[in-house]
Amino acid sequence: MARPLVMPQMGYDMKEGTILRWLKHEGDRVERGEPIAEIETDKVNLEIESFASGVILKLLAKEGETVPVGQPIALIGEPGEKVEEEAVPAPAVVGAATAAGTVTAPGPRAPEAAPLEEGPTAPGERVRASPLVRRLAAEHGIDLSKIRGSGPGGRIVKEDILPLIAAPRAPLAPEQPAPAAAPPPPPVPPAAPPAAAAPAVAVAPVPGLPEFEVIELSRIRQTIARRMAESFQQAPHFFVTTVAEVDALLALREQINAQVPEEERVSVTDLLIKACALALRDFPTLNASFVPPNQLRIYKRIDINIAVATEHGLIAPYVPDADHKPLAEIARLTKDLIARAREERLRPEEYQGGTFTISNLGMFGLVEHFTAIINPPQAAILAVGSILREPVYREGSEEPVPVRRLRLTLSVDHRVADGAVAARFLETVRTLLEQPMLLLVR
């Protein structure tokens, strides 16, 4: 008897998913655990696996279609098995669900699948490709920006690059006439915003407004917009800032990195994770969530999220039990999590959770300090600015000395903690950073 394969829930807040590409087609044999489709959730793109072995009898959702969690998307059965019409829930259910999907709201639609064609991606246009395609491209030295995808929305699918892999170093359109005297591409500043989530669409002028274009938000950007608006509107934020002198911290980091292999080299973010995790032991109300109307949920584990900027927006994987992990393990974990976040290869359980978040913009070099919005349902988030070399007057001296300093701003949900708690927490973090040997012995 035909069994339905449903859209899986790949996270507690996932309500729907978009079929990016079917990896199997009607009539194909599929084994239990074999990838059957690639879907897009609010956070990442994922391959979903078949729950059973059998033959794909019918696909109930099309590529590019948004489907609610729990809705059948395919039927799996025995070879030659006929699908009874009444057993197919697709037409009415899928249609209704699609109409209710947020991604299919009126607006610019993804272009229809284009024929395979090689050609350079337009300047500034975002390359859309699955993690599998990106991995294959990296392995075979293929420049995805020179390929025009044939998938939904111009997405580059595996079939688009397979001929390039099979062909011995097939050139990627080098013979195409390039525009004469084309200016070299400008350098991208480190703090450049992510590429647009979808092609811009020209719209009719609106009286009173200058000419504009409309860009459809990516699903992850829609999620960020919704969650951050809810957080800032519902959680009464307050902010506390301190400054830590980090010469000793950077010296220790240099000594550690000179003695360990590449994968264990410690970043400033790793040191901050360890410092915050240790400090949270003493301030459990900051490692908590407010539960309306009048409860506080204090977590027994300290799992530190790190905000990672990706092509599609922010995502925050976490380091579990960070207060119990040595720096080398934290360093290995963060390198792996950050790399896979940017390649859209995180598993849901790696970002669905966490009890406290660190957002570090220090690497951009220009951000002295900033405030961050709490990552719901957490109670606090630490915003980290750049390390700046500044003159400091020591007690009893009239001459300033140059010191490298780091500004830390803590955003706190006022429903769960007050300013005094935030101040003492920051004082503890600052002490750990200014006396960094404590990070090695605790």
297 sits in which H/E element: strand 295-298
Tokens read off for 138: 């990296």
Tokens of 239: 């902010």
- Annotated active-site residue 140? The verdict is no
DSSP string, 148-193: E--SGGG-B-HHHHHHHHHSTT---STTSPPPTTPPPPPPPPTTPP
Strand pairing report for 117-118 and 200-202: unpaired
d(CA 240, CA 242) in angstroms, rounded, equals 7
**Tokens 């011995």 label which residue?**
168
Compute the distance between CA of residue 380 and CA of residue 375 in angstroms, rounded to an integer: 8
Choose the catalytic residue: 237, 324, 369, 414: 414
Instruction: Provide the pairing of β-strand 200-202 with 304-306.
Output: unpaired
Q: DSSP letters of 334-393?
A: HHHHHHHHHTT---HHHHS--SEEEEE-GGGS----------TT-SEEEEEEEEEEEEEE
376: closest CA among 277, 305, 295, 313?
Answer: 305
- Return the amino acid letter for 282: D
**Do residues 357 and 378 make contact, with C-beta atoms less than 8 angstroms apart?**
yes
Q: What is the signed CA dihedral for 192, 193, 195, 196, rounded to 10 degrees? A: -140
What CA dihedral angle connects 10, 11, 15 and 18, to 10 degrees? -40
Reduced to 3 states, what is the DSSP secondary structure of residue 35?
strand
- Contact call for residues 19 and 62 (beta carbons, < 8 A): yes
Asked if the bond preceding 377 is cis, omega within 30° of 0, the reply is: yes
Burial tier of 183 (Cβ tally within 10 Å: 0-12, 13-18, 19+): exposed
**For 129, which DSSP code?**
B
Strand, coil or helix: 305: strand
Residues facing 343 on adjacent strands: none
Q: Residue written as tokens 């395609």?
A: 133
CB–CB of 110/153 below 8 Å? yes
How many residues does this entry show for the chain? Answer: 442
CA–CA gap between residue 301 and residue 91 (Å, rounded): 46
Residue numbers annotated as active site: 414
